[in-house]
A and B are shown apart, each in its own frame.
Chain A
Amino acid sequence: MAETAETLLTVENITLRFGGVKALTDVSFDIRKGEIRAIIGPNGAGKSSMLNCINGFYHPQEGRITYKGQTRKQMRPYEAASQGIARTFQNIALFRGMSVLDNVMTGRVLKMNSSLFEQAFFFGRARSEEIAHRAKAEEVIDFLEINAIRKTPVGRLPYGLQKRVELARALAAEPDLLLLDEPMAGMNVEEKEDMSRFILNVNAEFGTTIALIEHDMGVVMDLSDRVVVLNYGEKLADGTPDEVRSDQAVIDAYLGASH
């Protein structure tokens, strides 16, 4: 990533507490436009909490988040979504009662404007929107190669495919910033390779900025432009994969952990 790249999101001095427990302590870093930014760290390092702060699900007690030049203390999840932040979840959070296609279509909900009246009678914008957005959803489906299962209820899909559908749902929102919470957790080698390829393609094709949490160091090092390392809610290191890899504090933390 070019050094001159514009910053998309900055978190400054974020501290998040649950009751007396500190999940995050004074964490600061930035995400540049167009980069793949990894957040790594051992279990319980506060990675998911960090993402939850960014997209407004948790409200940090201290610190500020600047996104697209606007600084705020916190956002509502709805606002975050409408500002172009989409995400996937560590534990799959698909709409299990719906088909793959409907899940992806749901990802486009913010882009649809037809009135209740139009929807009730399925005319005008309701009709044209359904068709236009179906085409967009199909592009995402094609992109992620889930054509063969588009009408399958997601509950019937194997784990790896569910993860991919979740990514599809997030992509359908055409986000500026895509937050991926352990996109490769629980996958086998082949599935991981597929998912890595998709992530890189998303970044390259759509120019989407990606922040991802990942456990697997190898994957992170291959995928990301820059890495921030968290440990026990505090920032341990920040830099390119090579810098982070050779950072003594990181080595110590990881030697202590199982990875």
Chain B
Amino acid sequence: MEFFTDFFVGPIMEMVKAPEFLAEVAIAGLMSGVMYSLVGLGFVLIFKASGIFNFAQGVMVLFAALNFVGLMDSGVHPIIAFVATLVIMTLLAIAIEKLVLRHLVNQSQLILFMSTIGIAFFLEGFGELIWGGNVRPLHVGIPDDVIFIANGSILIQEADLFAGVTAAFLVTVLALGFRYTAVGRALRAVADDHQAALSVGIPLNHIWIIVWAVAGFVALVAGIMWGTKLGVQFSISIVALKALPVLILGGFTSIPGAIIGGLIIGMGEKIAEVYWGALFGGAIEEWFAYIVALIFLLFRPQGLFGDKIIDRV
């Protein structure tokens, strides 16, 4: 009974008592949610175009950030470093297509999934072999002051705000691009039916390279945002695992789903940690997202925005 009160009543009371604090927690959560969204976005892109569940997306974020910060640390101008990293990510996309994906055409999704785990391990070792495994601070001129709003009762990191805006911009561009450009249409065609896409003359290999390169671009942006906040380090790739529950929530094929899922998870786990964490001995952030996903899987496996899975005989 006591637990019941602590679980259901106490936290609500606290929220009501200090709404500004709640807002602050929620906004902080939203901001880390944006990061999840960005990683999730990379997943969705690749999944939509190739049906591949890219486990390496998180490591790609780390890899992109490592390259970027590594180049900058060697004295390269941020913009040149950015472009150079983009080139690297594109080369990576080509390499992955040539060395891995094209040899696995027609394999089951499970095999493709496991191959991306292999890619993830390789990239992680490779990135750290080149750039070292130390935490590297990243300063690209993103403002990192603190803003106070609502009469100074709510505190917001400027960097978070910047990240939010960038993410929103990126998502809009990608969503529009997916819908209105020729490449975007091709991508959707491929996602629907590989054979059909081939028969209308779209080279599948090119599509895959483009998609992986775009995912690399998204990874770079996400990497820069996170690097600014936390420094570039290995934990980025582990945190990126959170993108998986984000996708369960949002649906694997939905770009808006990835965004909204990311925000919900980000906000949810912060609020849960702050208001309920103590009740369970803390650190429930570690698993909160996964348990939410688990519950979703039980009741709505296609996620909030995903397509219903229809089997054909």
Contact = CB atoms under 8 A, between A and B. Distances in A.
Q: Is chain B in direct contact with chain A in the complex (CB below 8 A)?
A: yes
Nearest to A87: B313
Task: State the majority secondary structure of interface residues on B.
Answer: loop
Interface in A1-37: 18
Interface in B177-198: none
Nearest to A57: B313
A21 to B, nearest CB: 12
8 contacts: A18-B310, A48-B313, A52-B313, A57-B311, A57-B313, A89-B313, A90-B313, A93-B313
A18 B311 CA distance: 12
Interface of A: 18, 48, 52, 57, 89-90, 93
Nearest 4 CB-CB pairs, A to B? Answer: A52-B313, A57-B313, A89-B313, A48-B313
Interface residues of B, number: 3
Contacts of A90: 313
Contacts of B311: 57
A89 B313 CA distance: 7
Contacts, number: 8
Contacts of A18: 310
Nearest to A18: B310
Interface in B286-313: 310-311, 313
A96 B311 CA distance: 19
Contacts of A93: 313
Given A18-B310, A52-B313, A93-B313, 5 more contacts: A48-B313, A57-B311, A57-B313, A89-B313, A90-B313
Interface in B254-313: 310-311, 313
A113 B282 CA distance: 48
A89 to B, nearest CB: 6
A108 B259 CA distance: 48
A93 B310 CA distance: 17
A164 to B, nearest CB: 20
A218 B309 CA distance: 38
Contacts of B313: 48, 52, 57, 89-90, 93
Nearest to B308: A19
Nearest to A52: B313
Nearest to A93: B313
Nearest to B310: A18
A48 B313 CA distance: 9
A90 B311 CA distance: 15
Contacts of A52: 313
Nearest to A90: B313
